[in-house]
Structure formats: structure tokens, C-alpha cells
Chain A
């Protein structure tokens, strides 16, 4: 899975910091996609578009004063993903473009930070599987 089509052409201009952010984002993208599609009920194309915005946001977020390394900032990326997805679905359902199924309705009722926490656990598990000695 890859992010943004347009951002691929910018690779040569990327600073080491941007490369680091991109790598972390890329590592987390699978989980984010699951969150958006499976849990928040977005279709693939919507999720792909949202992921581009999430990458831009995450890159700038990591530049804010007091932000830790991109890797350490991953939990915030998950919170943002859940918040983004929730607001999007609320917007779509609120505008009458889509009806909420019971599963989506349940997750929309939950706080995004809470949902992200569950995903963070999956992330920890994933990291552990990739690197059990870490």
C-alpha cells in the first residue's frame, strides 16, 4: 500500500526528516486503512483520499514544537485518523448521502481517542511481531 500519487514525485526533494516521517507513516498505513475501511465503514477510494490528507497533517504535526520523533508520534497519528474518519462519516451520514449501519453507528458513538487506543495496542503487537527483541 502506498500513499499519495503526487507526493511520489517529491522524493528527491525530501529531507531526512521527511523521509523518516514517510517511513513511519508507511509502516502505520495498513493499520490506518483497516481503521478507516473496516471500522469506520469508508470505501477504499475515500480512505485513500483521506490517507493523503493524513500524511500531510502528520508531516506538519511532527514539526510542531515539542513533538517527539515520528515513531513516537504514531499514537497521535492514530487518534487523528480515527477523528478524521469519524468526522467524515458524520458529515456523509449527516448530509443524507449514506445511511449508518449499526456497526458504524456504534463506532461513531465512541470517542476517537478511545478507538485509537485499541489500535495502538494492535500497533504494539505488530511492532512486537516484527521485532520481538526490541
Chain B
């Protein structure tokens, strides 16, 4: 059989019977309910049907932010299965599903801090999408994902140079939701580069374009606007934006957005001297980050929490938080330039006399890195 003919499954086309959306969702949930290590070839065989593969990807995408570690494992396994399968979906669908699985695996790798893995997955997504009909929107999503990764790697000028073309392409393709997310990244880059006015301008322009969909993203934008107002000392406006962010995030179960929001709120309370509320928010943020297993984020949040606890005169609790955070900070080299502060802090905590200046310096290093 010629290589190109493998695209088709004509001798067995009956296998491509159509599933209703409901049946596909049921089949996908069924497959995903079986622990990865117990899944048999027969279980995985359901992926041959394009409707089921599509429903599996939808399901994984839905849980992306609430369980990135699990979704990373699922998406990686899905990719390997699709790659090994001889018959998946119709026409270009195998490549499309492979691309989506790789994009998911890359995004979740980024979320859990495995940046090199994320880069490799984005390369695989790119290669797979190239073989699909109408690859332009799919490839632009990969370019966008790569820029988000570079943002996390703090390569801001690089992102700033390339982001406008990704936004322009989204706008050309009429992909409003994705375009908004890229514009949001633009706002974050301006903030990181110290252009607060431009950053706020970007974020405020997004507020007008929201529909009821994607509450997590809406909450994230409101949170960032709140932070921008807080930096300007416009507390009233900041509070209004935080409330909008909280309203949007409620009931979504999105721990990723929720921990970010609670951390920002906690910091805002701490700066204003409301330590009890600050501690409450930051503890809750640590809880959310812990459920996501975001080790570096947990360490950072513990440092913030320790500062609030110290300010509230709860020194012993602060020491516990610091001692819990330091191993990750060192292992992951989260504050390479803060080695001296870490050492000072460790000694002072051992002597039960926490060095507040060292803690504050460490927080600053972590924030910068």
C-alpha cells in the first residue's frame, strides 16, 4: 500500500460510525476514569473514533488549570497512543489530534515548571499541525504558547518583539478569544518592562471585550487591573476589580487562577496592615497551589505568608513556612542572586530570631526571578 494511502481506512470505514456528542463524552469520561497504568489496548482503542478522540481532548482541556500535573501525564500518554495507532479518525485528524495532545502536554509542562519539556512538546505540536488542512490558526496557537513559555522564562524583550505578529494573525483569522489572551500577555510584558501606564491601558481595553465565556481568564484580567490600580495607590478602584475577579472565579474550580487572585489579595491586605485577612488569603493560596503541585509557586507563596505572619507577630508559624519553602527555593535555584539572604535567613530561623530584612530581600529576589 502506498504511504499516502495510509491516511485512509477505506477497507474498514464502518469503524468510523458517527457518535453523538453525548455518547462521545461518555466514552471519553469512561476512558479517562481508568487509571493510566491500568488502561488496556482495548480501552485505548476507543480513540480510533474521531468523535471520541475529540471528546477526550475537550475533557483534558477543561481540567488544564485545575490539575496540570494529571493532564500533563494524560496528554503525554495520549500523544504516544495516537502516534502508535494505525487508524485514528479521518483524513488529517490523526495529525490534528496529535498536535492538540502535544500542545496540551506542552502547556501543562509549562504550568508545572518543566520548561524544557514544554519546548519539546511545542515542537511536536508544530510538526503535527503542519500536516492538517487549514493549519494557520493551529500554528498561531503554538506560536502563542511558545511566547507564554518565553514570558515565564523572563525573556520579555523577545516576547515583546514577536507578540504583535501573533495578535495580528489572530485578528486576521477572527479568533477573538485567543487574540484577547495574547493582548493580555502584551499587558503583562509592559508591566514587567516597567511601563505601567501602557500595561494598564492594554488590560483596560480587554475589559470591554469580555463575553460571559471563560470566567477564569476574565478573573485573571480583573486581578491584574486591580494590581495595577493598587500600585498607583488607587485603592477604591483596585478593590472593585478584585471583587469582579472573585465573582468571576467563583464556582469554576480553577485553582490556578484562584491561587493567583488570593496571593494578590493577600499582598494587598498585608501592605495595608490587615494581617489577619492577608494570612487567610495567603494560606488559602498555598492550599490551591499545593493541590496543583506547583512546587516553586508554593515556595514563593510560603515566603509571602511568612512575611505576613511575622508582621502579625506570629513568629513561630513564620519559621515553619520559611523552613518548608527553603529546600525548593534552593533545589530549583529560584533566587540565584539571593544566596546570602537565604543563608542569613536559615541561620536566624535556626536561632528562632527570624531576620526580617533577609526575608524581605529573599521575597524581592523571588519576585524578580
Contacts and interface: CB of A to CB of B under 8 A. Distances in A.
Provide the main secondary structure of the chain A interface: helix
Contact of B90 (A4, A13, A56, A91): A56
Provide the main secondary structure of the chain B interface: helix
B175 A80 contact: no
Interface string B78-108: 0000000000011111001000000000000
Contacts, number: 87
B85 to A, nearest CB: 17
A11 B18 CA distance: 13
Contacts of A44: none
B161 interface: no
A90 B5 CA distance: 7
Contact of A87 (B7, B16, B50, B174): B7
A53 interface: yes
Nearest to B173: A66
A64 B175 CA distance: 11
Contact of B141 (A52, A66, A84, A91): A66
How many of chain A's residues touch chain B, expressed as a range?
Answer: 20 to 34
A76 B18 contact: no
A104 to B, nearest CB: 15
Interface string A33-76: 00000000000000001001100110011011111100001001
A4 B14 CA distance: 12
A126 B22 CA distance: 36
Given A53-B91, A57-B93, A64-B138, 20 more contacts: A6-B18, A10-B20, A49-B13, A53-B13, A53-B90, A56-B50, A56-B90, A57-B91, A60-B54, A65-B138, A65-B178, A66-B134, A66-B140, A67-B134, A68-B174, A76-B133, A87-B4, A88-B10, A90-B4, A95-B1
25 contacts: A10-B18, A15-B21, A53-B13, A53-B16, A56-B90, A57-B90, A57-B93, A60-B50, A64-B96, A64-B134, A65-B137, A65-B141, A65-B178, A66-B134, A66-B175, A68-B173, A73-B134, A76-B134, A80-B91, A83-B7, A87-B4, A88-B8, A90-B4, A91-B1, A95-B1
Interface of A: 4, 6-7, 10, 13, 15, 49, 52-53, 56-57, 60-61, 63-68, 73, 76, 79-80, 83-84, 87-88, 90-91, 94-95
